[in-house]
Chain A
Amino acid sequence: EIVLTQSPATLSLSPGEGATLSCRASQSVSYYLGWYQQKPGQAPRLLIYDVSKRAPGIPARFSGSGSGTDFTLTISSLEPEDFAVYYCQHRINWPHTFGQGTKVEI
């Protein structure tokens, strides 16, 4: 199965700063890579699909990039509601594994 490795495990930032989260795949997932946000006590929410496409209702400050094995989620300027855990997930083959998550904390 494809292993997704996210880094860093924790990112400590202040509101207004930019955030760069990384997701590396153990083999190519082409462009079949998505990002989810999860806040404490809540279900995950789809942010980005197919590397760079924003899901409906997702603010423009969230953007994704990359291809093959290396991917990045960028939050241009952190809002208070953006402090959460972020997971990447591939869907090129089964199982559709998730990364271990990056926590963005204040």
Chain B
Amino acid sequence: QVQVVESGGGVVQPGRSLRLSCAASGFTFRSHGMHWVRQAPSKALEWVAVIWDDGINKYYADSVKGRFTISRDNSKSTAYLQMDSLRAEDTAVYYCARMGLAGYLDYWGQGTLVTVSS
């Protein structure tokens, strides 16, 4: 069965960095794009970034552009989100999701919590 598992969250000080991982299984990882979506406490979903199956095309939300970098290692079936220059407003649960059915997010992980606080 398809599984997506995020890891790497935690508490980090403003201005520091953190790298999230998204381990996928149960499907041909190299054939699917992968997204990151976040959700601040009691707030709506916010799309963050996407990386295409070949790892070349990437897009970011304006709120993270220049600070976050999405990447993937198809040999490890894993996607990453490198988050630099973190701010308090980046505090959220970060979800990884597969770009699947007609380009929508059809499988999601359970999320990993990132708290940016001094």
Contact = CB atoms under 8 A, between A and B. Distances in A.
Majority secondary structure of chain B interface residues (helix, strand, loop or mixed): strand
Contact of A1 (B62, B102, B103, B111): B62
Nearest to B49: A95
B40 interface: no
Interface in A24-42: 32, 34, 36, 38, 42
A5 B99 CA distance: 23
Interface residues of B, number: 22
Contacts of A97: 47
Interface string A78-106: 00000000010101001111111100000
B46 A98 contact: yes
Closest 3 CB pairs between A and B?
A43-B108, A94-B59, A98-B45
A15 to B, nearest CB: 25
Contacts of A99: 44
B110 interface: yes
Contacts of B105: 36, 44, 46, 89
Contacts of B37: 44, 98
Contact of B95 (A1, A43, A46): A43
